[in-house]
Amino acid sequence: MALVNENYLKLPGSYLFSEIARRINQFKATNPEADIIRLGIGDVTRPLPPAVIEAMHKGVEEMGKAETFRGYGPEQGYEFLIEKIIEHDFTPRGVELSVDEVFISDGAKSDTANFQELFGVNNIMAVTDPVYPVYVDSNVMAGRTGMYDSDKGQYGKIVYLPCTEANGMKPSLPKTRVDMIYLCFPNNPTGMTLSKDELKQWVNYARENRSILLFDAAYEGYIREEGVPHSIFEIEGAREVAVEFRSFSKTAGFTGTRCAYTIVPKDVKVYDSKGEAYSLNQLWLRRQTTKFNGVSYPVQVAAAAVFSEEGQRQIKETINYYMENARIIREGLQAAGYTVFGGINAPYIWMKTPNTMGSWEFFDKLMTNAHVIGTPGAGFGANGEGYFRLTAFGTRENTLQAIERIKTRM
């Protein structure tokens, strides 16, 4: 008899975005004529930049000729891409990295989900609340979180760091010792950022407690304001305690193409029960070489083209397009009397539901009355209840239309 991994049974319901898709399909079955606007899952709508497409074509052509064909690539990614990442994303910010500290992968979602495998099951983990659900669900699957308390909407062994209106959506340091800390800035879902001084407190905490910061920077390309750190490694000492996840998905339209990268400095250490230190970089390399065979060659060639002069110009245009959507949503909602956060350095707008309405109730009302889809804040954690997330990744036309409908039909 095959026994189930009982940790999976601790997960309530389905994955957040699958549940939303289910509700939309149900609604469409009974309302086939409804013209639905999707501002729920953060999926991009602009096509891949021309420079990326051109490079991808070249990569595909190379695969079709015996002289240039490539089979298995290096599991951690081709150096031509890694070198460009270091040169463009890190060196200009004063961050020195070596080639073997950057790991190319098929997505920040899979990397943030998989990375926890390197840690003992008894580590105490901390997450912000609200939080991107992948960090929590992947740790549940691993058996690190205890049981789900459906009254609280929280797991018994996770330390939750509330991000509320009272603290400006910025997490405070944990009151009890934690070992693994997930941080995402610019934040999904609230769209808020941390300053260098604020991030420094987390680095200091991690150094004092020998904890690890798992820093998700998937939205760094959306930072507009000066002085907001783009990488945790801009903070002194972070090389000893942090891992950073980055992605081409939101910055260059790769959600359907799949390419991301994770930075694991060689200075980061984890310990065994006797206190002996191990290199996290070596462990991640061991994990990736065993379980992953790399991102396809044409996709890595395409990703490298993001860093060409035209590639950079083209992705900036796209990011500006989405950030104009963010402004339209933010200012439109404010004008309609809603309280909103984010949307300045991030493609997400976090709004308070009217009259303390539950977030799933607001989801249903918005879908039924306005045919607009967003993401219920409660899906991101207990402190997301009473909030709602809209993404700026829609088309301009749909974004304008959605705000108009919210103003007139809600």
Residues near ligand MLT (CB under 6 A): 41-43, 109, 132, 188
Residue by residue, DSSP assigns 327-348 as HHHHHHHHHTT--EEE-SSSSE
In whole angstroms, the minimum distance from the beta carbon of 188 to ligand MLT comes to: 5
| 8 Å CB contact between 106 and 276 | no
Residue 321 annotated as binding?
no
Residue 64 annotated as binding?
no
**Residues, the chain:** 410
Instruction: Choose among 9, 27, 3, 22: nearest CA to 368.
Output: 27
Residue 409 annotated as binding?
no
Residue 93 annotated as binding?
no
In whole angstroms, the minimum distance from the beta carbon of 31 to ligand MLT comes to: 24
Residue 249 annotated as binding?
yes
> Cα separation of 117 and 127, whole Å?
17
Contacts of 277 (CB under 8 A, 6+ apart): 269, 270, 271
Residue by residue, DSSP assigns 203-226 as HHHHHHHT-EEEEE-TTGGG--ST
In whole angstroms, the minimum distance from the beta carbon of 169 to ligand MLT comes to: 16
Q: Which residue's CB is nearer to ligand MLT, number 43 or number 54? A: 43
Residue 281 annotated as binding?
no
Say which amino acid occupies 379.
Answer: G
Select the residue whose beta carbon is closest to ligand MLT and give its number. 42
Q: Which residue's CB is nearer to ligand MLT, number 41 or number 382? A: 41
Structure tokens at 244: 């950073």
Q: Which residue's CB is nearer to ligand MLT, number 258 or number 352? A: 258
In whole angstroms, the minimum distance from the beta carbon of 377 to ligand MLT comes to: 12
Residue 205 annotated as binding?
no
In whole angstroms, the minimum distance from the beta carbon of 57 to ligand MLT comes to: 26
Structure tokens at 379: 């899906």
| 8 Å CB contact between 96 and 68 | no
> Could you tell me the end-to-end alpha-carbon distance of the chain, in angstroms, rounded to an integer?
53
Q: Which residue's CB is nearer to ligand MLT, number 178 or number 349? A: 349
Q: Which residue's CB is nearer to ligand MLT, number 132 or number 388? A: 132
- List binding-site positions for substrate: 15, 42, 109, 132, 188, 293, 389
- List binding-site positions for pyridoxal 5'-phosphate: 72, 108-109, 132, 188, 219, 247-249, 258, 293
